[in-house]
């Protein structure tokens, strides 16, 4: 019995000892954690619950050359509530929750006031410090939120958490969309000015402490250290939004009228290379076109007859040729090796001078001329084309420039008909912009300048960098050859394929082009064409060059003179009318000065004014609101439709007429400047909202 008692006591003592040792170990561990490694562990715990998050800077704006916004970042906010009891005592919360719910319901009516109260009260019970209220809130809505109970600043702080983001918007929608570029879900697409000047526009990111409040949720800690972001700089483009609008509209109507697949227009300043307008339209539905791809910059293809100028200039430079020399074009067809070349004129042109061959765009004449002088020195012809910078990219600042390709003698694709094909614009790929740049060099007395799309960079309204013209080739040809080229281009308009551009108050010089489209694996199509016209104006003192390309028309017409030249003329007329510096001093200019400034308004008032000024008038329709279109020395009055459910077009009207129309529709108006309306935001055609404010920019 005694032995059993000793055994039990021994086991108890051992158990007590083990418990004591275990407790001692725990106490030692606590002391170790608290005083030896405590600081390091607390720092590690903090690092798991707090971190520094980068804050995006507000992206810089892109402006037109005349100061209108082409791309802008609109601040938007995601709104959360910190419903934690640490922010407000129960008494404060209970006394204000009803008023807060009512205010939220008025601002965001998708929930009624009871639902808001229930959600916020439940969040408080669950100690939710990050309850989402609303995404994509505007700054004006945020200002109202900051006046609501529990969201106002007080001695208890504020329960409002507003996380700023930004949304990129293009105020003029489709106008120059592919050239401007845009943000999509915060990622800048690899296109346009947005991509070219991304680093300038982006700015410098800031830093902010955030606290973990859930597995994947982090809440800003506004009381802690924040490194302020630095907003991006602004880019002032070379785009003139009024000319851009005219070019867009003119091309759109011609594409729709001929059921064409796509088209582009580029207008460039001769001396500097600044691009004032660039339009790229693609058919997305019957009669509907959008900017989907930058054809002018990226799509290289056979230029067709517009390349004949380069071919002839090479021949004039290398050989003792007179424009009065003659070539036998036969009866309208000729075989070069295995390929048959035809002229568009049935029966041919017979024997004709080189000047006449160019004016009527004879394929046979140009092919035979180049074949005659270069059949035994083909490489010389190709090298001279490259010497004129026709085989290289121009290094424009926008991404995606198409690569020019000239078929070469050693290549497997070179055949016995390749040289005459090159002479008339086939077996060579150029983008429309590259073709325009060559013609611009002719207009610029041989100096080839790089197309430019940005004029300057501004920081907080102050110019920090200006872009100057960049010379690609100081002289693409001799002065003698350039003068001959200019006379040839004037001849095309005066006596050749572009005679429909002859009757203008100023002289146009240029070249028509009609090229068969090459289809992969099928060769050149007999039904699909590119119609183009490229040239400059005024011909006697060139200020602007322009190219118009219309691809795959389906309504029967496919020649450049029929499709592209009228678009060229419409745009050139508008540019000439609005550019007083390029107009000679004459009575005709003074006669139409009023019409060139005021292009729209009340029919009765405009008719009275034009009659008083002794203008020739064609008065069409009977609607109250009209538009004045200058047709040579005559003013045509046409109706301008004003819809009751859509924002009307008031561009070109006096401030008085524009204000009358908009206020009659119940719209609010903000006027900037005086004179004539030159731009409006929102753009015409959008649905009317009684809260919408129309911002009108005037000419002075």
Residues 501 and 361 in one domain: yes
Residue ranges for the chain with pLDDT beneath 50: 41, 44-45, 185-188, 223-225, 586-597
Task: Establish if 191 belongs to a structural domain.
Answer: no
Query: What does the H/E/C string look like for 127-195?
Result: CCCCEEEEEEECHHHHHHHCCCCCCCCECCECCEEEEEEEEEECCCCCCCHHHHCCEECCEECCCHHHH
Indicate the residue among 582, 600, 624 that finishes a domain: 582
CB neighbourhood size of 437 (10 A): 27
Burial of 593 (0-12, 13-18, 19+ CB in 10 A): middle
Q: How far apart are CA 556 and CA 571, in angstroms?
A: 24
Task: Establish if 179 belongs to a structural domain.
Answer: no
Residues 553 and 639 in one domain: no
Residue 327 near residue 365 (C-beta atoms within 8 A)? yes
Residues 559 and 410 in one domain: yes
pLDDT of 228 reads 65
Alpha helices in 299-451 (DSSP H): 308-318, 354-359, 363-374, 378-387, 418-423, 432-443
Q: How far apart are CA 414 and CA 399, in angstroms?
A: 31
Indicate the residue among 537, 560, 582 that finishes a domain: 582
CATH of the domain at 567: 3.40.710.10
Query: What does the H/E/C string look like for 97-143?
Result: HHHHHHHHHHHCCCCCHHHHHHHHHHHHHCCCCCEEEEEEECHHHHH
pLDDT of 596 reads 43
CATH of the domain at 612: 3.30.10.20
Residues 380 and 251 in one domain: yes
Task: Establish if 64 belongs to a structural domain.
Answer: no
pLDDT of 688 reads 78
Residues 215 and 288 in one domain: no
Q: What are phi and psi of 296, to 5 degrees?
A: -60, -35
Task: Establish if 43 belongs to a structural domain.
Answer: no
Indicate the residue among 582, 610, 634 that finishes a domain: 582
Task: Establish if 619 belongs to a structural domain.
Answer: yes
Residues 248 and 227 in one domain: no
pLDDT of 593 reads 45
Residues 310 and 420 in one domain: yes
Residues 211 and 265 in one domain: no
Using one digit for the tens of pLDDT, what is the confidence trace for 309-339? 999 999 999 999 999 999 999 888 888 877 8
DSSP annotation of 214: S
Residues 676 and 538 in one domain: no
Task: Establish if 63 belongs to a structural domain.
Answer: no
Task: Establish if 509 belongs to a structural domain.
Answer: yes
> Which candidate, 553, 440, 544, places its Cα nearest to that of 486?
440
Q: Which domain holds residue 214?
A: 53-58+74-174+204-232
Q: How far apart are CA 432 and CA 649, in angstroms?
A: 31
Task: Establish if 549 belongs to a structural domain.
Answer: yes
pLDDT of 460 reads 82
First to last CA, the chain: 119
For the chain, the domain total comes to 4
pLDDT of 41 reads 47
Q: How far apart are CA 498 and CA 560, in angstroms?
A: 9
Residue 236 near residue 455 (C-beta atoms within 8 A)? yes
pLDDT of 52 reads 66
pLDDT of 521 reads 66
Residues 541 and 685 in one domain: no
pLDDT of 456 reads 95
Residue 408 near residue 419 (C-beta atoms within 8 A)? no
Strands (E), 493-632: 509-519, 523-537, 544-551, 600-602, 616-619, 625-631
Residues 570 and 593 in one domain: no
Alpha helices in 539-624 (DSSP H): 560-578, 587-591, 593-597, 603-612
| Helix pair angle (90-107, 113-125), 10° resolution | 140
> How remote is the C-alpha of 656 from its chain's centroid?
32
pLDDT of 594 reads 44
pLDDT of 224 reads 47
Residues 436 and 498 in one domain: yes
């Amino acid at each position: 019995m005694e032995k059993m008692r000793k055994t039990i006591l021994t086991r108890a003592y051992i158990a007590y000892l083990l418990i004591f040792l275990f407790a001692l170990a725990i106490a030692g561990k606590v002391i170790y954690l608290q005083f030896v490694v405590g600081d390091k562990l607390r720092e590690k715990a903090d690092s798991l619950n707090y971190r520094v998050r980068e804050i995006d800077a507000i992206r810089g704006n892109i402006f037109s050359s005349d100061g209108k916004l082409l791309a802008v970042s609109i601040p938007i906010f995601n709104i959360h509530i910190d419903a934690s009891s640490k922010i407000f005592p129960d008494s404060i919360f209970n006394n204000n929750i009803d008023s807060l719910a009512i205010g939220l319901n008025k601002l965001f009516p998708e929930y009624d006031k009871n639902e808001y109260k229930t959600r916020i009260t439940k969040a408080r019970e669950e100690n939710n410090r990050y309850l989402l209220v609303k995404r994509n809130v505007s700054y004006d809505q945020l200002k109202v939120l900051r006046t609501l109970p529990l969201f106002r600043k007080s001695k208890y702080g504020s329960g409002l958490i507003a996380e700023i983001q930004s949304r990129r918007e293009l105020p003029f929608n489709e106008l120059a969309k592919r050239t401007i570029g845009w943000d999509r879900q915060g990622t800048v697409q690899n296109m346009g000015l947005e991509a070219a000047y991304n680093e300038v526009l982006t700015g410098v990111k800031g830093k902010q402490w955030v606290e973990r409040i859930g597995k994947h949720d982090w809440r800003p800690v506004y009381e802690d250290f924040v490194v302020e972001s630095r907003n991006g700089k602004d880019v002032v483009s070379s785009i003139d939004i009024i000319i851009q609008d005219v070019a867009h509209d003119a091309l759109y109507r011609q594409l729709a009228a001929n059921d064409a697949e796509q088209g582009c227009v580029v207008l460039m300043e001769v001396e500097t290379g600044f691009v004032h307008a660039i339009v790229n339209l693609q058919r997305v539905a019957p009669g509907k076109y959008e900017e989907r791809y930058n054809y002018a910059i990226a799509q290289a293809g056979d230029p067709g007859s517009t390349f004949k100028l380069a071919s002839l200039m090479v021949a004039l430079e290398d050989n003792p040729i007179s424009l009065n020399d003659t070539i036998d074009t036969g009866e309208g067809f000729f075989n070069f090796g295995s390929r048959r070349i035809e002229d568009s004129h049935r029966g041919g042109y017979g024997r004709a001078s080189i000047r006449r061959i160019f004016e009527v765009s004879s394929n046979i004449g140009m092919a035979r001329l180049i074949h005659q002088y270069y059949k035994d020195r083909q490489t010389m012809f190709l090298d001279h084309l490259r010497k004129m910078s026709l085989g290289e990219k121009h290094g424009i600042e926008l991404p995606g420039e198409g690569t020019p390709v000239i078929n070469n003698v050693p290549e497997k694709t070179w055949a016995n008909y390749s040289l005459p094909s090159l002479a008339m614009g086939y077996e060579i790929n150029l983008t429309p912009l590259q073709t325009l740049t060559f013609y611009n060099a002719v207009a610029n007395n041989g100096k080839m300048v790089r197309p430019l799309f940005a004029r300057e960079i501004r920081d907080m309204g102050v110019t920090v960098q200006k872009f100057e013209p960049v010379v690609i080739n100081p002289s693409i040809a001799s002065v003698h050859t350039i003068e001959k080229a200019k006379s040839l281009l004037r001849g095309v308009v005066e006596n050749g394929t572009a005679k429909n551009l002859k009757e203008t108050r100023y002289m146009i010089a240029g070249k028509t082009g009609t090229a068969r489209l090459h289809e992969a694996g099928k060769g050149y199509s007999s039904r699909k064409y590119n119609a183009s016209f490229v040239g400059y104006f005024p011909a006697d003192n060139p200020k602007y060059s322009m190219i118009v390309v219309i691809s795959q028309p389906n309504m029967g017409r496919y020649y450049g003179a029929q499709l592209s030249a009228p678009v060229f003329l419409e745009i050139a007329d508008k540019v000439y009318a609005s550019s007083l510096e390029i107009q000679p001093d004459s009575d005709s200019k003074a006669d139409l000065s009023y019409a060139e400034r005021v292009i729209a308004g009340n029919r009765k008032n405009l008719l009275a004014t034009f009659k008083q000024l002794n203008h020739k008038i064609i008065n069409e329709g009977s609607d109250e609101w009209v538009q004045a279109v200058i047709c040579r020395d005559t003013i045509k009055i046409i109706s301008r439709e004003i819809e009751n459910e859509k924002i009307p077009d008031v561009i070109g009207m006096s401030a008085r007429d524009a204000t009358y129309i908009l206020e009659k529709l119940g719209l609010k108006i903000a006027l900037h400047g005086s004179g004539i309306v030159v731009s409006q935001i929102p753009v015409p055609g959008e649905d009317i909202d009684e809260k919408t404010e129309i911002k009108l920019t005037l000419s002075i």
